[in-house]
Amino acid sequence: MNSLPLLMGTADGLFICERDGSQWYKTLEGEIVTSVIAREGVILAGTETGVYRSDDLGRSWFACNQGLPHLQIVWLAFHPDVSDLELV
């Protein structure tokens, strides 16, 4: 069974809902979230100001933008065959 939460990126942050649908909560307030992906407990959010990563299902976030030539993120994807490779 998939234990990842439901995720919805908006022009004012990221909304996360537990799988039981009981409650939505807002995180990354003020960020324009253009893309969001999740796998194995990791959530990546692409925004107008770069990529943010959460390893605890959205409770805390850190920017991971080192080496990116542009911070306006359009899409994100996990590599289908390499579990620790993300594409920006």
The structure's pTM equals 0.84
Residue 85 has pLDDT above 70, yes or no: no
Q: How far apart are CA 73 and CA 51, in angstroms?
A: 7
Mean pLDDT (whole number) for 31-54: 92
Please name every residue paired with 3 in a beta bridge, in sequence order, or none if there are none.
Answer: none
Residue 6 has pLDDT above 70, yes or no: yes
Label residue 50 by pLDDT band (50, 70, 90).
Answer: very high
For the chain, the farthest-separated pair of C-alpha atoms sits apart, in whole angstroms, at 40
Residue 88 has pLDDT above 70, yes or no: no
Res 20: pLDDT: 75
Q: How far apart are CA 52 and CA 46, in angstroms?
A: 7
